[in-house]
A and B are shown apart, each in its own frame.
Chain A
Amino acid sequence: MPRSFHLVPALALAGVIASTLAFGQAAGPGTLTLAMPIEPPNLDPTTGAAAAIREVTYRNIYEGLTRIDRSGAVQPALAKSWTLSDDGLTYRFTLESDVTFHDGSPLTSADVKFSLDRARAPDSTNAQKQLFEPIAEVATPDAQTVVITLKRPTGLFLWNLGWGDAVIFSEKSAATNKTNPIGTGAFKFAAWTRGDRVVLEKNPAYRAAAQVKLDKVIFRFIGDAQAQAAALKAGEVDAMPNLGAPELFEDFQKDPRFKTVAGSTEGEIVAGFNNARKPLDDARVRRALTQAVDRKALVDAAYNGIGQPIGSHFSPGQPGYIDLTSVLPYDPKAAKAALATAGYPNGFSLTLRVPQMTYARRSAEVMAAMFQDIGVTLTLEPIEFPGQWLDQVFKRTDYDMTIVAHTEPLDIGIYARDAYYFNYQNAAMKAIMAEVNATADTPQRLALLGKAQKQLAEDAPALFLFLLPKLGVWNAKLKGLWDNQPIPANDVVEVSWH
């Protein structure tokens, strides 16, 4: 036998020796290792839309005047209190005292003015510039007071200030926050190994430092769903707030070492119609197509039965939600009859541009089968998301149907826009949304949002399928992680081990 054959046992031996080295699972009691599927492109939430930026930085590193809590409600943050003038136009905020940025400089009203003016400037690259559009002026009567005057009453203004896009920067660090974030939050940025992890450390100067239990937070970026599950099982990762693969979720539900929570997100999975194209410009056709889809069966097939069917573009986690899944219930016979009335007794053919995401692919296949029952042939055409999709569907609206999750919170206003990829034009919807925006009174605003939901459910500008669930899996000894995701965030300020 040639000498080289001895290498096989030698290699095995080397493996055994290597394995005796302590590895993984070494995190101390004050450390939390949390895995996310996507790495943030940078750490500045005011210059990019990527949810991953917020999932690392929101409240942990940066804070805004207000914040949105785990239940989706607006809470004080850097502003400890505020008043609103009777005409609904002037907000007067009082800032928390003794707040410092991570570089040691104190927070003053000038920082707030700088941040908001920067966000609404003509050359601003803020992805949600429209949130700041209602601001007419930001004044700073003293270091602890900020007065914001609006052009018109804006019902969602305090909510808007709680977005990741509205966090407060210091002028000194604004240009470098992408790579070296300086905020006022409970955790300071410590290190970033690109492609692998971002490490945060507890900020001892935080105003409520005593309540923060974690010393260190490691955000690991693991794209592959199998790799995520393996890292959790091996104990190398403590929490996966948003597991990528529903079929792996069941496995964790049976394992007592883990806590599993199927929470809600703001991600409405919507099969968009191109309302400018025949025959989809006919509401009767859109309604018929909606009636052809059994949403419950679709969720079972596409997402292992986890995920709540929706009848309009609104998350069940939001205040003001109404269940409208029964407005156009599953009824293929009625759908076929409606198509005949609309002039299509023999059905027609449509093309559906399907992005590569699992939920999209599977939902599309189920929909194609269900459409077949009413004589509509759906051709599935794969399209790459985001690049190709943004170009072809979003920008040039070159499509019949598509399918994508809309993850921005409270984004029902897109149906009132002049140029949005659905090409939906409806004066009634525009009037309702204008009224919503001008109403600061909460019950009244929620009633109007209900009206908007009904309008969409009945007019069916898109086929509303189900809400993308947040499949949280974490070590059973952890507490304080968010069950739901009212905005993109992994707020770990209140997380602790027990």
Chain B
Amino acid sequence: MLRPLLSRLGTALATLILGSLVLFTLLEVLPGDPAAVMLGLEAQPDTLAAVRRELGLDGPAAARYLGWIWGMLHGDFGLSYTYRVPVAELIADRLSLTLPLALLAIALSTLIALPLGTLAAAKHGRAADTGVMIFAQLGVAVPNFWIGLLLILGFALTWPLFPVGSFPGWGQGLLPGLHALLLPALALALPQAAILTRVARAAVLEVLSEDYIRTARAKGLSDQRVLVRHALRAALVPIVTILGLQFSFLVAGAILVENIFALPGLGRLLYQAMNQRDLIVVKDVAMLLAAVVITVNLLVDLAYLWLDPRLRRAG
């Protein structure tokens, strides 16, 4: 048990270090001097040099890399070049929006996809199945920013039930916060729900052809009970795996959706930082996302180890 565990931990750590090196190098060669972006079209060379000194951009690359890593290990993410406040503070602020948004989106997409996928599988080949599959096809094809625009048009302008994009902050209470996040979460959730519906349908269909389902039916269980108690439960494993994989799509989608709904989330922070060449924010946020993805993968790996004894002996 110990060796495979250590080997997975080691792989995760190596990936993390490699990721940080690649990220640092990429941002080094990225055209765009943060000082030049700050000073604009009238910048004079000596002013540029003064700003570079102030931002600490003029040391050797190796020293700056080590300084960055060393700082992060101590919880010091550095000062944002543009905002001049600690990056850790910025990230924490934005996470308080993006995390609930992502969780809401995952919850919504699951709530939509599971019933629809199961329904389609149960009515395999019939009109309901076709309808669901058309929905799924549409959902995959239509990008989430477009869904966001449609939602704003429908539920914020024509039928003003929701704000069009202002987040009151959790200080105003849970309900106003959720109210503001529901439309953007839906915009994020729909394309995911479409993918998940197809996965759920396929998974349930596969389970339905298993011997034990026939046994369950033979025992006299109703169709509905067979579906919910047996088929859906067994189909959850591939569905949960896909949900985990969708995490990265959620981040990419959040950048667009947060812009459409003018929400100050992590995605918007990253987008702005790229535009303003706030490279330290870009580095820190990207590193954080990488760390989260690597950790999620590690946890999935460990869960498999725990679930499947055969894997413990191998590797």
Cβ-defined contact, B276 with A230, below 8 A: no
| Contact residue among A2, A19, A42 (Cβ-Cβ distance under 8 Å from B82) | A42
Q: Could you give, for residues 60-71 of chain B, a 1 whenever the CB lies within 8 Å of some chain A CB and a 0 otherwise? A: 000000000000
- Name which residue of chain A comes closest to B268, CB basis: A195
Chain A residues near B149: list those with CB within 8 A. 226
A387 and chain B: residue at smallest CB distance: B32
Q: Check A326 for interface membership: any CB of B closer than 8 A.
A: no
Neighbouring A residues of B37 by C-beta, 8 Å? 386-387, 390
Which residues of the other chain, A, contact B25 by a CB distance below 8 angstroms? Answer: none
Contact across chains for A408 and B165 when beta carbons are under 8 A apart: no
Is A5 within 8 A of B38, CB to CB? no
Residue of A nearest to B261 (CB): A227
CB closest residue in chain A, given B149: A226
B171-179, B208-216, B241-249, B302-310 - the one binding chain A? B171-179
Size of chain A's interface in residues, with CB distance under 8 A? Answer: 62
If A42-B83, A48-B39, A195-B269 touch, whether A220 touches B262 (CB-CB below 8 Å) is yes
Count B-side interface residues using an 8 Å CB cutoff.
Answer: 69
B46 touches A387 (CB 8 A): no
- Is B260 a contact partner of A224 (Cβ separation < 8 A)? yes
- Give the CA-CA distance A401 to B269 in the complex, in Å: 32
Beta-carbon contact of A49 and B164 below 8 Å: no
Complex contact A230–B165 (CB within 8 A):
yes
Which residues of A sit under 8 angstroms from B50, Cβ to Cβ? 123-125
Interface centre among B32, B41, B93 (most CB of A within 10 A): B41
Q: Is the interface of B mostly helix, strand, loop or mixed?
A: helix
Q: Which residue of A lies closest to B122 (CB)?
A: A2
Instruction: Judge whether B40 and A19 touch: CB under 8 Å.
Output: no
Mostly helix, strand, loop or mixed at chain A's interface? Answer: loop
Q: Does A236 contact B (CB under 8 A)?
A: yes
Decide yes or no whether A129 CB sits under 8 A from chain B: yes
Encoded as 1 (CB less than 8 Å from any A CB) or 0, chain B from 40 to 51 comes to: 111110110011
- A49–B38 touching, CB < 8 Å: yes
**A316 close to chain B: CB less than 8 A:** no
A231 and B85 within 8 A (CB):
no
A23 CB to closest chain B CB, in angstroms? Answer: 5
Among A4, A41, A42, A387, which residue has its beta carbon within 8 angstroms of that of B115? A4
- Tell me if A128 is interfacial: C-beta within 8 Å of chain B: yes
Give the A-B pair count, Cβ closer than 8 A. 190
Cβ of B131 within 8 Å of any chain A Cβ, yes or no, is: no
- Give the Cβ gap from B123 to chain A, nearest Cβ, in Å: 11
Residue of A nearest to B152 (CB): A230
Could you tell me if A386 and B32 are in contact, using CB atoms closer than 8 angstroms?
Answer: yes
Q: Which of A121-160 contact B (CB under 8 A)?
A: 122-130
Q: Which residues from 118 to 158 on chain B have a C-beta closer than 8 Å to any C-beta of chain A? A: 118-119, 149, 152-153, 155-157
Q: Report yes or no: B42 in contact with A408, Cβ–Cβ below 8 A.
A: yes
**Bound Cα distance from A391 to B277, whole angstroms:** 12
Interface residues as binary, A9-23 with B (CB distance below 8 Å gives 1, 0 otherwise):
001000110110101
Residues of B within 8 A of A11 (CB): 111
Q: Is A344 interfacial (CB-CB < 8 Å)?
A: no
Which chain B residues lie closer than 8 Å to A129 at the CB level?
Answer: 44, 46-47
B54 at the interface (CB under 8 A from A): yes
The smallest beta-carbon distance between B254 and chain A, in angstroms, is 13
B167 at the interface (CB under 8 A from A): yes
Q: Contact: B175 with A41, CB < 8 Å?
A: no
Cβ of A194 under 8 Å from chain B: yes
| Nearest-CB residue, chain A, relative to B115 | A4
Q: Is B33 an interface residue (CB 8 A)?
A: yes
In the assembled complex, which residues on chain B have CB atoms less than 8 Å from the CB atom of A42?
82-84
Residue with the greatest number of chain B CB neighbours at <10 A, chosen from A1, A11, A24, A179: A24
Instruction: Report if A394-B228 is in contact (Cβ < 8 Å); known contacts: A122-B46, A227-B260.
Output: no
Contact of A49 among B39, B93, B153, B260 (CB under 8 A): B39
Q: For window 230-268 of chain B, which residues contact chain A by CB distance below 8 Å?
A: 232, 259-265, 268
Show the binding face of A for B, using Cβ within 8 Å: 1-5, 7, 11, 15-16, 18-19, 21, 23-24, 39, 41-42, 47-50, 122-130, 178-179, 193-196, 220-224, 226-227, 230-231, 233-234, 236, 384, 386-388, 390-392, 394-395, 406-408, 411, 414
A-B contact pairs, 13 of them (CB 8 A): A39-B272, A47-B51, A48-B38, A49-B43, A122-B46, A194-B85, A227-B165, A230-B156, A233-B157, A387-B32, A387-B37, A394-B41, A395-B36
Q: Enumerate chain B interface residues (CB-CB to A < 8 A).
A: 30-33, 36-44, 46-47, 50-51, 53-54, 82-85, 90, 93-94, 111, 114-115, 118-119, 149, 152-153, 155-157, 160-167, 169, 175-176, 178-179, 182, 224, 227-228, 232, 259-265, 268-269, 272, 275-278
List the 9 closest pairs (A to B, CB-CB), nearest first. Answer: A387-B32, A49-B40, A195-B264, A41-B82, A19-B161, A391-B31, A196-B264, A230-B164, A222-B262
